[in-house]
Amino acid sequence: MDRTYDEKLADFEARVGRGEKIEPGDWMPEEYRKNLIRMMSQHAHSEIVGQLPEGKWIPYAPGFRRKLTLVAKVQDEAGHGQLLYRAAETLGKSREDMMEELLSGKAKYANVFNYPTPTWADVGVIGWLVDTAAVINQTMLAQSSYGPYARAMKRICYEESFHIKQGYDIIAALARGTPEQRKMAQDSIDRWWYPTLMMSGPPDSLSVHSQQALKWRIKTKSNEQVRQEFVDHIVPQIRALGFEVADKDCSYDKTSGHYRYTQPDWEELKRVINGDGPCNKERLDARRKTHEDGRWVREALAVKGRKSAEAA
Ligand code: FAQ
């Protein structure tokens, strides 16, 4: 006898409650599938667009070793994008559709990648601050109820942890450098502070998707929990290197055991993720050009695929 929707939902929720992974062929509520596709494709886009702000510095990296590690990091981000598109495809959405949504400006990607990188210190700060925020979020997502997403996160977190080290190493070197180098690093830490805080998403009271995502364990922590973890982790590190936190009111609260911090401007987040940030146009133009430049590769692969199918 066919099970009713309510019975299937009860079974699904019981599995999620027991900490079981939901796999591609399993029954799932349509809203679960949609929320996952939205989040995973945005995540994939973020990795792909996220190559651009640092990638720009590859020709100017100071020295051979810095250049090698930066090239490796940027390549890793491309790989993460591929893994995430693949994982999102298991939910029934094609990579072409996801790409079309990115290139048309319909899809969102992480706010941070719409800010400029005018100095070498920005490469260090992206690796150190932005990747730390990303890893804290992604370690949480490695517990996600959707199997392919959770497994992709584990692999990605290993690599992102290395990215944090390369970013930290750049800033630690600048901290030991000349007054001009220290100033360059401080200026970069200041500029990236609020955009990085915004990465964890709007406050829980303004978050549209969190309630459902938490109920079905797509996410296992709220935006505010993740942001607080980031602040608690990074503030002592910034101060240990002799730098200041941009938020002068940021202080340790003994009672709660957490750092208090000033909320970012949530209107700015809204503007930036809806296309009106300092570099949105530049980023999308670069992606569109790369997509166009790669057209011949896609066409050649399609012909090869057709020929193999005919021969079989
Ligand atoms: N940026 O209801 P909520 C990386 C959107 S990976 C852009 O709270 P949710 C690696 C949100 O999508 C960084 N959009 O949404 C790297 C929604 O819009 P919609 C990317 C944002 O999903 C490092 C609306 O606002 N990581 O950095 C942002 O429950 C260095 C309402 O928000 C991920 O994508 C934002 N910051 O929570 C690469 C992780 N915040 O779809 C290169 C997976 C909110 O209704 C270099 N994603 N929005 O139109 C997540 O964990 C979640 O999606 C959140 C948002 C936490 C981002």
pLDDT tens, position by position, 84-140:
999 999 999 999 999 999 999 999 999 999 999 999 999 999 999 999 999 999 999
Looking at the CA of residue 140, tell me the nearest atom of ligand 1.
51
Contact between residue 44 and residue 98 where contact means Cβ atoms under 8 Å apart: yes
Give the predicted TM-score (pTM) of the model.
Answer: 0.96
Say how many CA atoms lie within 13 Å of 68 toward its Cβ: 3
Mean pLDDT of 178-201: 98
Mean pLDDT of 34-40: 98
Contact between residue 238 and residue 73 where contact means Cβ atoms under 8 Å apart: no
pLDDT of residue 242: 98
- Distance (Å) from CA 14 to ligand 1 centroid: 27
C-beta 287 within 6 A of ligand 1: no
Domain that holds residue 272: 5-311
C-alpha to C-alpha distance for 282 and 300, rounded to whole angstroms: 28
Mean pLDDT of 224-249: 98
- Distance (Å) from CA 34 to ligand 1 centroid: 15
Mean pLDDT of 150-168: 96
**CATH assignment of the domain containing 84:** 1.20.1260.10
Q: Could you tell me the CA-to-CA distances from 65 to 61, 72, 300 in Å, in that order? A: 9, 11, 35
**How many domains, in total, are found in the chain?**
1
CA dihedral for 201, 207, 208, 211, sign (positive or negative): positive
C-alpha to C-alpha distance for 251 and 260, rounded to whole angstroms: 5
Q: Could you tell me the CA-to-CA distances from 73 to 39, 66, 280 in Å, in that order? A: 23, 11, 22
Q: Is the pLDDT of residue 256 over 90?
A: yes
pLDDT of residue 311: 87
Task: Work out the pLDDT band at 308, boundaries 50, 70, 90.
Answer: confident
Residues 6+ apart with CB under 8 A from 34: none
Average predicted confidence (pLDDT) for the chain: 97
pLDDT of residue 15: 98
- Distance (Å) from CA 72 to ligand 1 centroid: 24
C-beta 50 within 6 A of ligand 1: yes
Contact between residue 213 and residue 39 where contact means Cβ atoms under 8 Å apart: yes
Tokens of 230: 């980031």
Q: Is the pLDDT of residue 16 over 80?
A: yes
Q: Where are the beta strands (DSSP E) in the chain?
A: 251-253, 258-260
Looking at the chain, the whole-number percentage of residues with pLDDT higher than 90 is 96
Contact between residue 218 and residue 35 where contact means Cβ atoms under 8 Å apart: yes
Mean pLDDT of 186-202: 98
Ligand 1 pocket test, candidate residues 273, 276, 283, most atoms within 8 A of CB: 273
Crossing angle of the two packed helices 30-49 and 280-293, in degrees rounded to 10: 90
Which residue, among 77, 78, 93, has the nearest Cα to 294 in the 3D structure?
78
Strand partners, 22: 146
- Distance (Å) from CA 108 to ligand 1 centroid: 8
Q: Is the pLDDT of residue 38 over 80?
A: yes
- Distance (Å) from CA 310 to ligand 1 centroid: 42
Ligand 1 pocket test, candidate residues 36, 38, 39, most atoms within 8 A of CB: 39
Quote the Cα angle for 227-73-190, to 5°.
Answer: 40
C-beta 221 within 6 A of ligand 1: no
Between 2 and 56, whose confidence is greater? 56
